[in-house]
Chains A and B, each alone.
Chain A
């Protein structure tokens, strides 16, 4: 054990100090065998909630939203209290403690670099090595008499329960997927129901992901919107600025509709959309939206210019919507890497092809 800890400490993981007592959410401390252990409450403050909101929107580089790794006391735990393991993404910790009101437990927080349990398990930072290291660093063996750890089920992609047992003596129990089921799991004598073990993707969960999907489109949008305005100024009978004011606004509106389609409507309507590939779902929303928009424009399909302009946006909205929908695979809870690779092999050329032809049609329409 000692050699393992020393070996890892000399590598990248040097943060083996106990968690600081002066973090904003720490309410007090309890005595431990080697110093004070920070104490936390199951009640979240407005500060915690405000932080979560900012993280959801990716505000002000709040993307690294972490607490110090190590052992925390929830309430007033003793040597028989359960040990629950979580990630040092602050929202993961908040979620867990909020789910255990009035309980005394130890929270062992792993250093996942501020990433949530599931993503970190996929990367391996929520993993066997880090867990064993953190058990040693926190002196857990002197703090509790039992040798049981409760991990969130979604930590399992990074942890080998049998190796943790071999290397640390602690038995890993995989608890429920959701922190809010943790109390019921504890009360049932560490037994999870079938429903607690299934990862679903209900509409509320899809909805909270929309802000970050929208924020991700901001950077491309500040490049694409000026280009659309510039193109709209070209050609035509009127001057540059009047062109831009009329056709430019239409184009920007159409672009925003594409974002609405791919980053908002597709996630919300996900299970009700046809097809299994996310690209197909994005197309299924994008095409009707494009047709509705062209219709709303007055459907000037008698001139070549009107046909090209409409056609261009039919292609562009579909391409953008399909691309954004395809990117939502990363946020979804049931797509496999093999599947995504298979989907991308046909979807990416299709999206690029439709995007470029739409763009070309838009340009040509200016000079007819």
Chain B
């Protein structure tokens, strides 16, 4: 992913490495190689590559990882500001007619 790192020093990912049990689950689920586990505990390898998907914290049985998970999608933030029904990416329900269907699935294929 050359040249595909988003902004510097903005993510909410935090580690409480004392709690880490070195199970390695976080390494398995992270799609961007953000974390590493050495002999003792979990540490950052490339923190700016984090996209705050929340996979690591949700799959950490020791509760050593915290992150404010969300979808990095400007349209979703705008939908949220406009009080549309959902603020999540590509899957918001059209307020004009929820029965009309969802604009879903295509954004992240």
B29 near A156 with CB under 8 A, answer yes
B14 interface contact, C-beta 8 A? no
B55 interface contact, C-beta 8 A? yes
What A residues does B53 contact at CB under 8 A?
121-122, 156-157
Select one of B31, B68, B106 contacting A197, CB under 8 A.
B31
A122 near B89 with CB under 8 A, answer yes
A119 and B89 in contact, given A157-B55, A335-B6 (Cβ under 8 angstroms): yes
B103 interface contact, C-beta 8 A? yes
What A residues does B91 contact at CB under 8 A?
113, 115, 119-120, 123
B104 near A113 with CB under 8 A, answer yes
Chain A contacts with B in 182-231, Cβ cutoff 8 A:
192, 194, 197-201, 205, 208-209, 212
B36 interface contact, C-beta 8 A? no
Q: Give CA–CA (A331, B72) in the complex, Å.
A: 9
Identify 6 new A-B residue pairs, CB closer than 8 A, beyond the known A63-B102, A336-B70.
Answer: A91-B105, A115-B91, A157-B53, A161-B59, A197-B33, A334-B49
Size of the B side of the interface (Cβ < 8 Å), in residues, is: 53
Q: Give CA–CA (A277, B7) in the complex, Å.
A: 7
Chain A contacts with B in 112-160, Cβ cutoff 8 A:
113-116, 118-123, 153-154, 156-160
Select one of B11, B58, B61, B73 contacting A329, CB under 8 A.
B73
A342 interface contact, C-beta 8 A? yes
Q: How many A-B residue pairs have CB under 8 A?
A: 196
A-B contact pairs, 30 of them (CB 8 A): A63-B104, A63-B106, A91-B109, A113-B104, A115-B102, A119-B89, A122-B53, A123-B86, A156-B59, A157-B53, A157-B69, A159-B59, A161-B25, A201-B4, A271-B4, A277-B7, A329-B73, A330-B71, A331-B90, A331-B107, A333-B108, A334-B4, A336-B52, A336-B72, A337-B70, A338-B52, A338-B72, A339-B7, A340-B74, A343-B74
Chain B contacts with A in 76-103, Cβ cutoff 8 A:
76-77, 86, 88-91, 100-103
Q: Is the interface of B mostly helix, strand, loop or mixed?
A: loop
| A12-20, A28-36, A39-47, A53-61 - interface stretch | A53-61
A357 interface contact, C-beta 8 A? no
B74 near A329 with CB under 8 A, answer yes
What A residues does B40 contact at CB under 8 A?
none
The 8 closest A-B pairs by CB, nearest first: A330-B73, A337-B70, A335-B72, A156-B55, A199-B31, A156-B29, A336-B52, A271-B3
A114 near B29 with CB under 8 A, answer no
Residues of A within 8 A of B (CB): 55-56, 58, 61, 63-65, 89, 91-92, 113-116, 118-123, 153-154, 156-162, 174, 177, 192, 194, 197-201, 205, 208-209, 212, 270-272, 276-278, 326-327, 329-344
A338 near B88 with CB under 8 A, answer no
A340 and B1 in contact, given A119-B107, A174-B29 (Cβ under 8 angstroms): no
B77 near A64 with CB under 8 A, answer no
A218 to chain B, nearest CB (A): 13
Q: Give CA–CA (A274, B13) in the complex, Å.
A: 26
Q: Give CA–CA (A119, B88) in the complex, Å.
A: 9
A343 and B73 in contact, given A122-B53, A331-B107 (Cβ under 8 angstroms): no
A337 near B71 with CB under 8 A, answer yes
Q: Give CA–CA (A309, B42) in the complex, Å.
A: 57
Q: Give CA–CA (A277, B8) in the complex, Å.
A: 10
Select one of B50, B77, B88 contacting A341, CB under 8 A.
B77
What B residues does A113 contact at CB under 8 A?
91, 102, 104
